[in-house]
Structures are given as C-alpha cells and as structure tokens.
Amino acid sequence: MTVFESKISINKPVADVFAFLKDFNNHQQLMPDSISEWVSTTNDASFAIKNMSRLSLKISNRIPNSSVIIVPASAVPFNIEMRWVVTSLGEDTTEAILTVSAELNMMMKVMASGPLKKLTDFQVTELKKILG
C-alpha cells in the first residue's frame, strides 16, 4: 500500500470543517483544474480527469466531527481510499489531514505517485483557502 498524506491547520471549529467535508457537493471546490464534468450528490461524485477517464467516488463512512472516508463507486485500475481526519486543536482551530492509500504496482507507482501527492497537497491547501 502506498500512502500519501497532507495536513493543515484551519482557523475554524472542527464541526465547521467536518460539515464542509461530509458533503460531496463541496468537494468540487477542492479539485484541481484537470477535473471536469463534475456531478455530485451529498454521498457520491463522478468526474472526468483530463487525459484520462471518468471516475466515480462515494463516501463510505462518516464519523461526526472526526473523519470522512471516500472509496471508488465503480471499477478502478487500482484500489484507493481517501480519508479526511479532522481534529480539534482548540475552540477555533482544526487540524485536517487527507490520507490517500493506494494499491499500486511498480508501473502504476511510477505514473501515479506524483499526481496523487500533488492532489493531497492541493486539496488541503484549497480547504484552508475556502474555510480560512
């Protein structure tokens, strides 16, 4: 299992950060420009990745004010899980950690490691921009 992780502190209560992350409709705001054709509900999303194919994801588990787990909703070339964990660092400060775990063979690891690490870094940075 290959793991990519990024974390950031946000000046918002943990309940506010969790409320944003638990709704897949909000995740479009966290995506890079290479994502298009976004369609979502509270629980799932599908989108196109530039120069690749469509991907469908779903939220498989929510633990209030703690975590949101996202998994593929359809067949994918490799198993992947995205896990947002939010922890209160005080009344108005939250640490948000995005962990992407992927089962990558050596060839996929070479091709996908850079983009997956960039994605985790991009999403936590965007989350901070949006929520402050």
Per DSSP, what are the bridge partners of residue 85? Answer: 67, 97
In the numeric block, which tokens belong to residue 79? 């198993």
Residues 22-43: tens digit of each pLDDT: 999 999 999 999 899 999 999 9
Q: What is the mean pLDDT of the chain?
A: 93
In the numeric block, which tokens belong to residue 8? 């950031």
Q: How many domains does the chain fold into?
A: 1
CA angle 28/41/1 to nearest 5° reads: 65
Alpha-carbon gap, residue 24 to 27, rounded angstroms: 5
Alpha-carbon gap, residue 86 to 83, rounded angstroms: 10
**Rounded to an integer, what is the distance from CA 93 to the centroid of its chain?**
20
Domain hosting 87: range is: 2-131
Residues 58-79: tens digit of each pLDDT: 999 999 999 999 999 988 877 8
Per DSSP, what are the bridge partners of residue 87? Answer: 95
Domain CATH number, residue 55: 3.30.530.20
- Compare 84 and 47 and report the one with higher pLDDT: 84
